[in-house]
């Protein structure tokens, strides 16, 4: 409120507002014109405080050093530009990568494949494939027949005798022709079958149609259909693999794969791996790979690793025809012969000669053994001089080239007998042969004399998930001597092979266990003397069992007593007949220990083999069965015979 009113209310608001604005302007003018009492000016500059002589000196020294270095650098650059360099000091820096090792390996593999392709192109020769021409011709004829059967024939119609008008002989135009220039008449195929036609009521006849025979579906076609359902996720893949692949032989699997490719135009291996997942990839590849190709790949790996023992292990279990097939596959797959690859990779000369001797095709396939010849050759080896084992024309390598597997086994055994307990590998070691040569001979001796034990050890060393060597070995032996390998594994490691596989082989272990539990087909077992060959693999059959014989009858006096009573002869024989006991004097029934062992083996593994159980229990008396029960309980600490 303005001071003019002295505390009284202004009569005019406009005047009051005007007075207040005037007072505000006067106040602001006084504020702007007021003078401060403090000196806020900048301080004075004193020259002696601004000049820093030490800093100036350091800057001058630093600048002098820079000028000196620049002069040196300028001198070097001018020297380089004016003079020509006498040394190439440029370094080739390559960019580093985390996967350069993998790329180098891939480049080496591509270069090797290109080299093999070039070798195959240079070695190829032109050839006519008559079978292929015939197949294409038959296919072409089949397409023509299909086309003709689906196309209507709108040929010209003939009335009456016009149909045969062209076949008549025109005497006006052809009477001058000689009869000798005419072609002979061609008889119709139907004319010879007119006698076989069935007559009608009106006197005409119609030909008999052949009976339509229903074509049975082959096993390969049925398995191909099952596999196609598994590929399309319409059936359980593991069950289909078990039924269509694992339970079949190698040749049947190859035929099934070819049938699948022909019917559906798909690659079975690729489709099945995509449907089953990565855990079954190795198993599927091993099941659908040709065995000759597998052996060739294994040999290739062993040759590159300089593993002579691994090479010998494969060659000593194959016949000459199988070895020839492996060599052809080796040449086709790797574009180099097996012999050339051995010369290039194996360093020891004696190892090269040993492998060449085992790959010889002169070795017979007979299982007959000439023991006198084996003793004579072993005696010659025992008394031989230096290089008796390693010389290319020596007795040992000559025997490996020309003798059968059975004869070589007899030689090893005879050598140990005649040398006073010294084995043939020890004899080679005493002759200062190379260590790899001795290891190869030792592996040959072990494979010849104890093949189930050798395979059991190899299986045990490869018990791990998705192991290719394990699956390939089980597939190769599942058709031959898998039962003997299971027994050897149980004796050596105190656990069933099936149980070990189920524990250690991952998700695919049930299918791998089925391979290990596979039995050979009935009727294919042969005696140990004869042996047999399955896919080129040497297999020894189980030993012959003694035939069962009837128990001895009662003494002669009981028979005489029965003869006096003709009516009671049969009853007397039944009542007086002695009950045979195990171990009785003159008893020719099978031994108790043998029966206990057979019963125990029949109840091992997956399921029970009922044939030996029925054979033993039905043919024994009650007293014998009780003895058998007590002996089994004592031997295996449990009662399994009822």
Q: Are 402 and 363 in contact (CB under 8 A)?
A: yes
**Cβ within 8 Å of residue 535, ≥6 positions away:** 250, 291, 322, 476, 479
Residue 532 lies in a domain: no
Instruction: Please check whether residue 595 lies inside any domain of the structure.
Output: yes
Determine which helix (DSSP H) or strand (DSSP E) holds 238, and give its type and residue range.
helix 237-241
Residue 614 resides in a domain: yes
CATH number of the domain within which 609 lies: 1.10.220.10
What pairs with residue 533 in β-bridges? 538
Does residue 242 belong to any structural domain of this protein? Answer: yes
- If one counts every other C-beta atom within 10 angstroms of the C-beta of residue 631, the result is 17
CA 622 to chain centre: 51
Token pair belonging to 355: 């492998």
Q: Are 280 and 236 in contact (CB under 8 A)?
A: no
Note whether residue 246 is domain-resident: yes
Q: How far apart are CA 428 and CA 408, in angstroms?
A: 16
Q: Where does residue 45 fall: left (phi above 0), alpha (psi -120 to 50 degrees), or beta otherwise?
A: beta
Low pLDDT (below 50) residues in the chain? 1, 160-177, 188, 190-195, 197, 522-531, 533-545, 550, 552-581, 583-589, 639-642
Contacts of 272 (CB under 8 A, 6+ apart): 227, 230, 231, 237, 241, 280, 284, 288
| Cα within 13 Å of Cα(500), Cβ side | 19
The residue to which tokens 């038959």 are assigned: 138
Is 619 part of any domain? Answer: yes
Residue 544 contacts by C-beta under 8 Å, 6 or more apart in sequence? 527, 528
Please tell me the distance from the alpha carbon of residue 28 to that of residue 26, in angstroms, as a whole number.
6
Q: What is the pLDDT of residue 107?
A: 92
Structural domain ending residue among the three candidates 287, 314, 338: 287
| 449 half-sphere exposure, CB direction, 13 A CA radius | 16
Residue at which a domain ends, from 256, 287, 318 = 287
Query: Would you say residue 191 lies in a domain?
Result: no
- Taking the mean position of all CA atoms in its chain, how far away is CA 397? 32
**Last residue of one domain, picked from the residues 287, 304, 339:** 287
Q: Which phi-psi region, left, alpha or beta, contains residue 519 (left: φ > 0; alpha: ψ -120 to 50)?
A: beta
C-alpha angle with apex 313: 308 to 315, nearest 5 degrees?
95
CA dihedral (268, 270, 274, 279) in degrees, to 10, reads 100
Q: How many domains does the chain have?
A: 2
Domain membership of residue 591 as a residue range: 587-642
Query: What kind and span of H or E run contains 600?
Result: helix 592-602
- Angle 388-392-397 from CA coordinates, rounded to 5°: 65
Q: What is the pLDDT of residue 87?
A: 65
Q: What is the pLDDT of residue 151?
A: 60
> Does residue 622 lie in a domain region?
yes
């Amino acid at each position: 409120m303005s001071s003019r009113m002295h505390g009284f209310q202004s009569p005019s608001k406009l005047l009051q507002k005007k007075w207040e604005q005037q007072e505000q302007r006067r106040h602001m003018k006084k504020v702007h014109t007021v003078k401060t009492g403090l000196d806020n000016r900048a301080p004075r500059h004193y020259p002696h405080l601004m000049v820093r002589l030490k800093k100036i000196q350091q800057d001058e020294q630093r600048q002098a050093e820079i000028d000196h270095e620049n002069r040196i650098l300028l001198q070097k650059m001018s020297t380089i530009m004016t003079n020509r360099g006498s040394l190439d000091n440029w370094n080739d820096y390559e960019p580093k990568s985390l996967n350069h090792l993998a790329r180098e390996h891939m480049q080496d593999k591509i270069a090797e494949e290109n080299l093999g392709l070039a070798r195959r192109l240079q070695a190829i020769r032109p050839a006519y494939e008559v079978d292929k021409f015939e197949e294409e011709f038959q296919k072409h004829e089949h397409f023509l027949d299909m086309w003709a059967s689906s196309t209507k024939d709108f040929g010209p119609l003939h009335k009456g005798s016009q149909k045969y008008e062209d076949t008549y002989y025109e005497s006006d135009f052809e009477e001058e022709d000689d009869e000798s220039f005419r072609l002979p008449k061609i008889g119709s195929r139907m004319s010879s079958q007119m006698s076989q036609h069935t007559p009608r009521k009106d006197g005409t006849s119609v030909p008999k149609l052949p009976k339509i025979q229903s074509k049975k579906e082959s096993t390969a076609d049925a398995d191909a259909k099952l596999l196609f359902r598994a590929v399309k996720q319409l059936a359980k893949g593991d069950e289909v693999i078990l039924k269509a692949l694992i339970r079949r032989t190698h040749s049947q699997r190859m035929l099934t794969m070819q049938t699948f490719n022909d019917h559906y135009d798909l690659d079975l291996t690729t489709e099945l791996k995509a449907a089953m997942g990565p855990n079954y990839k190795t198993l599927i590849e091993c099941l659908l790979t040709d065995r000759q190709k597998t052996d060739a790949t294994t040999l290739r790996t062993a040759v590159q690793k300089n593993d002579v023992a691994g090479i010998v292990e494969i060659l000593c279990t194959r016949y000459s025809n199988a070895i020839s097939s492996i060599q052809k596959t080796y040449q086709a797959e790797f574009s180099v012969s097996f012999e050339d690859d051995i010369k290039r990779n194996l360093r020891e000369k004696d190892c090269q000669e040993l492998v060449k001797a085992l790959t010889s095709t002169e070795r017979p396939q007979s299982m007959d053994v000439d023991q006198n010849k084996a003793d004579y050759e072993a005696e010659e080896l025992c008394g031989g001089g230096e290089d008796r084992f390693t010389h290319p024309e020596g007795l040992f390598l000559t025997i490996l080239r020309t003798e059968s597997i059975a004869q070589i086994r007899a030689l090893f055994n005879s050598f140990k007998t005649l040398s006073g307990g010294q084995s043939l590998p020890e004899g080679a070691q005493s002759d200062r042969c190379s260590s790899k040569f001795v290891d190869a001979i030792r592996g040959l001796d072990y494979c010849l004399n104890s093949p189930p034990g050798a395979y059991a050890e190899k299986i045990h060393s490869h018990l791990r998930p998705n192991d290719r060597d394990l699956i390939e070995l089980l597939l190769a032996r599942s058709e031959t001597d898998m039962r003997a390998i299971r027994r050897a594994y149980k004796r050596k490691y105190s656990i069933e092979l099936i149980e070990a596989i189920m524990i250690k082989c991952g998700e695919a272990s049930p299918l791998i266990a089925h391979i290990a539990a596979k039995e050979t087909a009935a009727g294919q077992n042969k005696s140990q003397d004869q042996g047999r060959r399955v896919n080129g693999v040497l297999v020894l059959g189980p030993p012959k069992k003694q035939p069962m014989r009837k128990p001895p009858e009662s003494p002669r006096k009981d028979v005489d007593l029965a003869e006096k009573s003709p009516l009671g002869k049969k009853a007397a024989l039944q009542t007086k007949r002695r009950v045979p006991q195990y171990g009785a004097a003159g008893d020719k029934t099978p031994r108790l220990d043998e029966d206990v062992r057979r019963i125990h083996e029949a109840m091992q593994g997956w399921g029970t083999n009922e044939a030996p159980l029925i054979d033993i229990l039905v043919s024994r008396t009650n007293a014998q069965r009780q003895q058998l029960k007590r002996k089994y309980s004592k031997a295996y600490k449990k009662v399994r015979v009822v």
